[in-house]
């Protein structure tokens, strides 16, 4: 009699476990077939950058990508780099002023194609992988220094990386001159060290972009970045 009772209890337990498993399977099936949207893994969504404030104030960054139909007419510089033809006069004016004051400088990087931007990112990822970083970590670190293709100001043609001609000037001297004078010619330092939490980009004292003289003066005077300026306009 005791043996029969034990067997009966055992069967009941097995039946109970099977019912629980069945219920869990049914619930899982409902979830998978429902319209519930799971949150994305990481910030991968981008909006299309707006040109409502003018071509010179288009905001392209980690959250705003270049419009698919964006076109640019380029002017080639003496060293082969290219820039948007609309910024060339002010860029030349700025360089002439710096050189008249004894500074040696040149455009290290101007316009980049989508393919060139992708190559730069791939190379940076490879550097971190060679240091022993995992693929995931290497990509994360690389994106702190190199913009994802489609989100780089260099692809607009209105941004330049300016380096010193070290036979004439030190890098610090050139960067300091640009920081104090670039706004006079319509250019701003896009990635200051104290705005990294907003721009998402490490300090780049060589990276300048054209916004126009009026906007540049306002941004410089208030000590803000382009993202904050655009917020003020909107």
Per-residue pLDDT reduced to its tens digit, 137-193: 999 999 888 999 999 999 999 999 999 999 999 999 999 999 999 999 999 999 999
Q: What is the pLDDT of residues 96-134, one digit of tens each?
A: 999 999 999 999 999 999 999 999 999 999 999 999 999
Domain limits at 118? 113-151
Distance, in Å, from the CA atom of 118 to the CA atom of 128, rounded to the nearest integer, reads 16
Domain assignment present for residue 6? The answer is no
Q: Which residue bears the tokens 């002023």? A: 97
Judgement on whether residues 72 and 179 belong to the same structural domain of the protein: yes
Domain assignment present for residue 3? The answer is no
Total of domains in the chain: 2
Count how many Cα atoms sit within 13 Å of the Cα of residue 224 in the half-sphere of its side chain: 15
With a CB cutoff of 8 Å and minimum separation 6, the contacts of 179 are 189, 205
Which of 109, 116, 129, 204 is catalytic? The answer is 204
3-state secondary structure of 122: helix
Judgement on whether residues 125 and 218 belong to the same structural domain of the protein: no
Instruction: Please confirm, yes or no, whether 51 is among the known catalytic residues.
Output: no
pTM of the prediction? Answer: 0.78
Name the residue among 76, 95, 110 with its Cα closest to residue 164: 95
Judgement on whether residues 173 and 220 belong to the same structural domain of the protein: yes
């Amino acid at each position: 009699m005791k043996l029969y009772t034990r067997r009966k209890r055992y069967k009941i337990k097995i039946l109970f476990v099977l019912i629980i498993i069945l219920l869990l399977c049914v619930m899982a099936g409902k979830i998978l077939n429902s319209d519930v949207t799971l949150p994305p893994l990481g910030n991968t969504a981008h909006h299309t950058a707006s040109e409502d404030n003018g071509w010179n104030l288009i905001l392209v960054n980690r959250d705003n990508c270049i419009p698919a139909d964006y076109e640019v007419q380029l002017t080639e510089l003496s060293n082969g780099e290219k820039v948007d033809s609309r910024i060339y006069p002010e860029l030349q004016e700025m360089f002439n002023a710096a050189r008249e004051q004894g500074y040696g400088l040149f455009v290290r990087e101007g316009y980049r194609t989508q393919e060139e931007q992708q190559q730069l990112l791939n190379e940076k990822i490879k550097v971190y992988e060679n240091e022993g970083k995992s693929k995931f970590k290497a990509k994360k670190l690389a994106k702190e220094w190199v913009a994802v293709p489609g989100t780089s100001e260099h692809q607009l043609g209105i941004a330049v990386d300016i380096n010193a001609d070290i036979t004439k000037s030190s890098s610090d001297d050139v960067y300091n001159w640009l920081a104090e004078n670039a706004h006079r010619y319509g250019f701003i330092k896009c990635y200051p060290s104290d705005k990294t939490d907003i721009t998402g980009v490490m300090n780049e004292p060589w990276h300048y972009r054209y916004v126009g003289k009026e906007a540049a003066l306002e941004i410089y005077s208030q000590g803000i970045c382009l993202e904050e300026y655009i917020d003020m306009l909107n």
